[in-house]
Amino acid sequence: MDVQDAASGGDPALPALEEVLAGAVVVALPLRVRFRGIEVREALLLRGPAGWGEFAPFLEYDDATAAAWLAAGLEAAWTGWPAPLRPRVTVNATVPAVPAARVPEVLARFPGCTTAKVKVAERGQSLDDDVARVAAVRREVARSEVARSEVARSEVARGVPDPGAARVRVDANGGWSVEEAAAALAALTAGPGQGPLEYAEQPCATVPELVALRELLARGGVDVRIAADESIRRASDPLAVVRAGAADVAVLKVPPMGGVRAVLALAEQLRAEGQRRGGAAVPVVLSSALDTAVGLSAGLAAAAALPLADGEEQLASGLGTGSLLAADIVLGGVTGGVREINHGSLPVGAVEPDPDLLERHAAAPERRAWWLERLRRCYALL
Ligand SMILES: O=C(O)CCC(=O)c1ccccc1C(=O)O
Ligand SMILES: [Mg+2]
């Protein structure tokens, strides 16, 4: 992170820029449904001695922010990751801000997932849209869960799957005011067809708002944990939100934190900080940044290497987002083959992009040039 270092020849552990550029491939992958305002996911893939890495900061990010994403990609391709502690990682279904009627179609791409994360507070939509979408997710997850369980098969016949049984979390991406969040979380937990929420991810944008929301929820008897996402990955001090007592759960993503090792170190600090505060550790949820199959390998490596306390159950990771892409650069996917979601989990391990798919999904020449230039600028910041 020291500009002077870069100017004077750079970090000795960094591969040479020419070497990094030599293995760069830029792809553009279509999404099945609009997510986070985008319909095509562009990514620059890096080929190094340790394997493949990904550099895919969202287009609007500035270079200082994007540099951390490059560090994560270089770690993947030139250094590799700590050994996994478990071979598979449980993932949540990720439900974009679709109309309720499209929920079954989305969830069908997350076979066996019993935890669902639902996007809420989308710009241009109303609380009614969120309430309908979340209720549809509860119904659908409960239905498929009951359908899988021998014991409960007769209950399906009797038509009584319990919508409260699904594990549902919502992600507002900071889109609510404190008052809107309190009203929405009350409606999403107590209204008809609703039930408990595992947590609400970034209901409001700022740390003081999160603190105020927690107080308001406690006063109103609404029992929903708060998870911090943007308050961690966009903050100069990622621990500040936990120190302020504003978050019960920490959502961590490998690319914005600068790599698997950086995420694991932060998880360790969060654990210590939580214990210092009141004895309870702050649980960590690994999540994707809408990565390609290559980028997801890094998230899976982090989730698989995350130490757990005795008896601690790992919360489902938001790493099933490959299902949101209509095409990827490894063979197979959810419909069969390499690293498909099976019984709600994904196997850990590297993937090898398919040369034909890399070619088929290659970005246009001007987009490739744009990404290579961005890589050069970010490299200079490492
Ligand atoms: O956590 C998940 O289920 C999927 C990942 C996700 O929601 C996401 C993906 C890209 C950018 C931002 C976010 C987010 O969590 O806000
Ligand atoms: Mg989020």
- pLDDT tens for 188-218 read 999 889 999 999 999 999 999 999 999 999 9
- The proportion of the chain whose per-residue pLDDT surpasses 70, expressed as a percent, equals 90
- Non-local (6+) Cβ contacts of 351 within 8 A are 52, 293, 294, 297, 330, 338, 339
Q: What pLDDT is attached to residue 6? A: 40
Q: Taking residues 81-88, report their average pLDDT.
A: 96
**Structure-block tokens of residue 307:** 């130490």
> Which of 92, 95, 171, 346 to mutate for ligand 1's pocket (most ligand atoms within 8 Å of CB)?
171
Q: Convert the pLDDT of each residue in 214-273 to its tens digit.
A: 999 999 999 999 999 999 998 889 999 999 989 999 999 999 999 999 999 999 999 888
Longest CA–CA span in the chain (Å) reads 72
pLDDT band at residue 2, thresholds of 50, 70 and 90? very low
- Centre of ligand 2 to C-alpha 117, Å, is 9
> Taking residues 333-342, what's their average pLDDT?
70
H or E segment and range at residue 368: helix 365-381
pLDDT above 60 for 321? yes
3-state secondary structure of 194: coil
Q: Rounded distance, CA 147 to CA 345, Å?
A: 18
Q: What confidence score (pLDDT) does residue 11 get?
A: 62
Provide the ipTM: 0.97
Task: Please give the domain boundaries of the chain with CATH numbers for all domains.
Answer: 3-82+363-381 (3.30.390.10), 88-134+166-353 (3.20.20.120)
**In 3D, which of 377, 370, 286, 379 has the Cα closest to residue 44?**
370
Query: Is the per-residue pLDDT at 86 higher than 50?
Result: yes
Q: Is position 356 annotated in a ligand binding site? A: no
Return the number of other C-beta atoms located less than 10 Å from residue 195's C-beta: 19
Instruction: Measure Cα distances from 236 to 247, 274, 333, 380, 381 in Å.
Output: 17, 19, 36, 20, 16
What is the overall mean pLDDT for the chain? 91
CA 201 – ligand 1 centroid, Å: 10
Q: Would you state the pLDDT for residue 8?
A: 41
The residue type at 343: H
Report CA(275)–ligand 2 centroid distance (Å): 24
The rounded Å distance from CA 58 to ligand 2 centre is: 14
User: Which residue in this structure is represented by tokens 């598979």?
Assistant: 88
- Average of per-residue pLDDT across 340-366: 95
pLDDT in tens, 160-185: 555 555 799 999 999 999 999 999 99
Q: Is 105 annotated as a binding residue?
A: no
Which ligand number lies closest to the CA of residue 117?
1
How many angstroms is it from 117 CA to the middle of ligand 1? 9
Q: Kindly identify the ligand whose nearest atom is closest to the C-alpha of 36.
A: 1
**pLDDT tens-place string over residues 18-35:** 999 999 999 999 999 999
Nearest alpha carbon, ligand 1 atom 5: 288
List the residue whose alpha carbon is closest to atom 2 of ligand 1: 318
Ligand in closest contact with the CA of 61: 1
Check residue 149 and give its pLDDT.
61
> Residue 350: phi, psi to the nearest 5?
-75, 160
Catalytic annotation, residues: 119, 253
Do 23 and 77 touch, CB atoms closer than 8 A?
Answer: yes
Protein residues whose CB sits closer than 6 Å to any atom of ligand 1 = 36, 92, 94, 117, 171, 173, 229, 287-290, 318, 321
CA 20, chain centre distance (Å) = 26
Q: Which amino acid is at 179?
A: E
**Residues lying with their CB under 5 A of ligand 2, a single-atom ion:** 171, 201, 229
Is 171 marked within a binding site?
yes
Atom of ligand 1 nearest to the CA of 117: 3
Distance 161 CA to ligand 1 centre (A): 28
Take atom 8 of ligand 1 and give the residue whose Cα is closest: 289
Question: Mutation test of ligand 1: which of 61, 287, 324, 325 has the most ligand atoms closer than 8 Å to its C-beta?
Answer: 287
Please, which residues have CB within 8 angstroms of residue 36's CB and are 6 or more apart in sequence? 58, 173, 290
**Mean pLDDT for the stretch of residues 48-63:** 97
Mutation probe of ligand 1 site: the residue of 54, 288, 346 with most atoms within 8 A of C-beta = 288
